[in-house]
Amino acid sequence: MEASERLSLNDATDLIRSAFVSVGVPEENAKSVARALVAAEAEGQVGHGFSRVEDYVGQARSGKIKADATVDIREVGTASLLADAGNGFAYPALDQVIERGAELAKVAGCVSMGITRSHHCGALSVQVEKLARKGLVAIMVANSPAAMAPYGAKEAVFGTNPIAFAAPRPGRDPLVVDLSLSRVARGKVMSAHKAGKPIPEGWALDRDGNPTTDAAKALDGTMAPIAEAKGTALALMVEILASAMTGASFSSQASSFFSADGPPPGVGQFLIAMRPQDDRFAERLEDLLTAIDTLDGARIPGSRRISAIHQAEANGIEVPARYLEALRKIAEAGT
């Protein structure tokens, strides 16, 4: 069994923050990134948590991520915002555009928020939940470096291009749905590769289009889409919203999120926040979810995520020792 150490969420966040600060990331940017990575880890999305720190640090050092980038947000309509992340981390741009967009949505009823010249944005669930906790219904999409081929082809054109949705539930945790349009997020394949483990059959294809359980061959090949042709059609929709709408790089133009080499990936994210139009929205939502929950064998999407978060808040998270060792080396090298 792999060695690990249990950390509270606060300690985990501070450890990651301090590592980024030690390599020249400004304090506020470091806090933003650390909060997002730990939030992803807490809900069980380990491919978007501690496993990303070394990659981010390498890219901050090489300049592929502009660590001290400032976010520029401008209005492009009466209820539309466009944030330029400046080829920096995605999380500061998300923090700022969500805060501003939520206030606008409460007045306008619906607001769109685009982010351009961005980077890996981790678990989309973390971002849409922020809007739901402000009483808004939210949708978010993001494109990523090409890893999935159009249905029937072998060459990657789309990223795994995730979609997330959240709705407020007064007095309860929001309903949150987060899914990759590949059968699993590519970060899980990278996490398996770093751990020297195989991946389950059906996750990915090698460069010749054959199914593989070898994580390295999967990273050199393509991810399998959900629902076959339907999954790649959804990926096209995400590509249009996250990239064509925002002016960001298409997935086929974006450099790797994992390597420190090459130019900034310059990908995009797109969010919509909506104020419920019906005064009975909360009541009607509970009626719907209760009807699902009472069915034998049914489970409301996101329920395992909520349970994982509550467990992490109460008991902390288990972090693989290899990631903690890497963090400490980063901190030592930066001092």
- Please check whether residue 200 lies inside any domain of the structure: no
Residue 214 lies in a domain: no
User: Is 147 a member of any domain?
Assistant: yes
Please state, in angstroms and rounded to a whole number, the distance separating the CA atoms of residues 257 and 66.
14
> Does 319 reside within a domain?
yes
Helices assigned H by DSSP within the chain: 9-22, 27-42, 53-62, 90-108, 124-132, 186-195, 215-220, 229-239, 281-293, 303-315, 321-334
pLDDT computed for residue 335 by the predictor? 53
What is residue 172's predicted lDDT score, i.e. its pLDDT? 97
User: Is 82 contained in some domain?
Assistant: yes
pLDDT of residue 328: 87
pLDDT of residue 190: 85
**How many residues make up the chain in this entry?**
335
Question: What does the alpha-carbon distance between residue 35 and residue 14 come to, in Å, rounded to a whole number?
Answer: 9
pLDDT on residue 334 = 67
Who contacts 55 (Cβ-Cβ below 8 Å, separation ≥6)? 257, 258, 259, 260
Q: What is the pTM of this model?
A: 0.94
Q: What is the dihedral of CA 166, 168, 173, 177, to 10 degrees?
A: -10
Number of domains in the chain: 1
Q: Which residue has the tokens 């130019």?
A: 263
Backbone angles phi, psi at 105, to 5 degrees: -65, -35
Q: Is 192 within the bounds of a domain? A: no
Does residue 111 belong to any structural domain of this protein? yes
pLDDT at 52: 95
End-to-end CA distance of the chain: 33
CATH code at position 82 = 3.30.1370.60
Are 141 and 160 a contacting pair, CB within 8 Å? no
Supply the range of the domain harboring residue 241. 4-182+225-334
| pLDDT, tens digit only, all 335 positions of the chain | 789 999 999 999 999 999 999 999 999 999 999 999 999 999 999 989 999 999 999 999 999 999 999 999 999 999 999 999 999 999 999 999 999 999 999 999 999 999 999 999 999 999 999 999 999 999 999 999 999 999 999 999 999 999 999 999 999 999 999 999 999 888 889 889 988 999 999 999 999 999 999 999 999 999 999 999 999 999 999 999 999 999 999 999 999 999 999 999 999 999 999 999 999 999 999 999 999 999 999 999 999 999 999 999 999 999 999 999 999 889 887 65
Contact 140, 269 (CB under 8 A): yes
Rounded Cα distance between 238 and 236, Å, is 5
Indicate whether 220 belongs to any domain: no
